[in-house]
Amino acid sequence: MTGGFVFSEKPIELEAGKGAYLYGADGTEYLDFGASYAVASIGHSHPAVTEAVRGQIGQLTYVQASYPVGVRTDLYEKLAALGPGDVDNVWLCNSGTEANEAAMKFARSATGRSKIVATKRGFHGRTLGALAMTWKDKYKKPFEPLAGGIEFVPYGDGDALAEAVDEETAAVFLEPVQGEGGIHPASAEYLRAAREATDDTGAALVFDEIQTGVGRTGSLWACDGVGVEPDILTAAKGIANGLPLGTTLVNDRIAEDAGDHGSTFSGGPVVCAAANATLETVVDEDVPGNAAQVGEYLRGELEAAVEAHDLPVREIRGVGLMIGIEVKRGANRVLKNLALREQVLALPAGRTVVRLLPPLTIDEAHADQFVDSFVEVLG
């Protein structure tokens, strides 16, 4: 076996990126409406992030997290200020799955309980704890036994959730919009029901905002948009615009008895510099506002195109720039044709959903370009 063996590679070699575009080794320009799973949140090779990383790597590349460093203290302060309500204690790590592992540990430690309620179709990562809360058998079966004590409930059913949560429940894990599971937004009532059920029993409410966070749904956090505050919020993906950073934000109740946890690379100065530059851009340039506005425009144009050209589309779902297009034929064929014939990149979410997670800085012209290509491929 030579080279990588886990990922199947796509037949496009990439060399550079700028804003909403990626460039192939042969010079071909691709419109990137996947942002590599929402990671390039403010666009590829954003100059503010590049400059911050260049400066930091030359000054201090790494020092263990037990020595304070200005750039990390800045990030703690930013995340504490930006976290919803009282969710202002910050743990830093290197990925989404690690952020969820930490959330599981903190919730179990703080409540002294072990049971966790998660949702059907949910995705929380691929390490043995986070994987246990992930729904799809394909991801889990070959690796069992996983962490125990997980109960699954149908997503969106407040009564079923309330029934599953009891005095033994440490935490309820929810994505405010299910991403990997096909782009299914939760209603505000569902998230309120989850808050109520966890308040009634003393369980921790965890929002996995790894895909929905950092402005994706039109507010900084998806839960801000519906006004429901969790006890724990996890984020990663787009938070450092391409450098590996995850974070677990917790309120005081959880922080007070979170237990012992650690990670060597936690909060390395270079990734912190990238995250600071990303978050400053997100806030200063009202990136969530742009995602809300361009997202609404894009969904409107897609609906209109489906109608006008009678395209084989069952449903368009989403919030902000987190959009799922449920197609009648396989999503993978649509994605392949988009990439190879139209030079437009997007993502699947299951077999039938074309998932759009473009950089949050796109404008209406980018949205038009995507819709034209989509019509070309499906028409």
Ligand X SMILES: *Cc1c(COP(=O)(O)O)cnc(C)c1O
In angstroms, give the least distance from the CB of 379 to ligand X: 31
Q: Which are the contacts of 83, defined by CB distance < 8 A and separation ≥ 6?
A: 90, 221, 233, 249
In angstroms, give the least distance from the CB of 182 to ligand X: 12
Is position 152 annotated in a ligand binding site? no
**Residues 96-115, mask of contacts with ligand X (x by CB under 6 A):** xx--x---------------
Is position 77 annotated in a ligand binding site? no
Exactly one of 156, 158, 176, 179 binds ligand X (CB under 6 A); that residue is: 179
| 124 is a site residue for ligand X (CB under 6 A) | yes
Q: How far apart are CA 136 and CA 62, in angstroms?
A: 37
Q: How far apart are CA 377 and CA 338, in angstroms?
A: 6
Exactly one of 208, 231, 301, 342 binds ligand X (CB under 6 A); that residue is: 208
Q: CA angle 243-103-166, nearest 5°? A: 155
| 95 is a site residue for ligand X (CB under 6 A) | yes
Q: Can you give the C-alpha Rg of the chain in angstroms?
A: 20
Q: How far apart are CA 122 and CA 206, in angstroms?
A: 13
Is position 208 annotated in a ligand binding site? yes
| 169 is a site residue for ligand X (CB under 6 A) | no
In angstroms, give the least distance from the CB of 68 to ligand X: 26
Bond into 145 cis (ω within 30)? yes
In angstroms, give the least distance from the CB of 305 to ligand X: 27
Q: Can you tell me whether residue 169 is helix, strand or coil?
A: strand
Q: Which are the contacts of 72, defined by CB distance < 8 A and separation ≥ 6?
A: 65, 92, 267, 269, 272
- DSSP 8-state secondary structure symbol assigned to residue 148: S
| 125 is a site residue for ligand X (CB under 6 A) | yes
In angstroms, give the least distance from the CB of 312 to ligand X: 27
- DSSP 8-state secondary structure symbol assigned to residue 131: G
**Is 29:19 a contact under the CB 8 Å cutoff?**
no
Phi, psi (degrees; rounded to nearest 5) at 114: -120, -25
Per-residue CA distances from 225 to 217, 219, 279 (Å)? 8, 6, 18
In angstroms, give the least distance from the CB of 357 to ligand X: 9
Exactly one of 20, 92, 103, 210 binds ligand X (CB under 6 A); that residue is: 210
Q: Which is nearer to ligand X, 102 or 313 (CB)?
A: 102
Q: Can you tell me whether residue 246 is helix, strand or coil?
A: strand
**Residues 211-250, mask of contacts with ligand X (x by CB under 6 A):** x------------------------xx-------------
| 182 is a site residue for ligand X (CB under 6 A) | no
| Sign of the dihedral through C-alpha 51, 57, 60, 65 | positive
Is position 150 annotated in a ligand binding site? no
Is position 229 annotated in a ligand binding site? no
Per-residue CA distances from 47 to 50, 54, 241, 249, 294 (Å)? 5, 10, 11, 27, 22
Q: Which is nearer to ligand X, 211 or 373 (CB)?
A: 211
| 322 is a site residue for ligand X (CB under 6 A) | no
| 342 is a site residue for ligand X (CB under 6 A) | no
Tell me which residue has its CB nearest to ligand X.
Answer: 96
- DSSP 8-state secondary structure symbol assigned to residue 309: H
Q: Please identify, among the stretches 93-101, 103-111, 153-161, 219-227, the one whose residues bind ligand X according to the rule CB under 6 A.
A: 93-101
Annotated binding site for substrate: 126, 263
Give me the residues that bind ligand X (CB under 6 A), please. 95-97, 100, 123-125, 175, 179-180, 208, 210-211, 236-237
Output the known binding site: 96-97, 123, 126, 208-211, 263-264
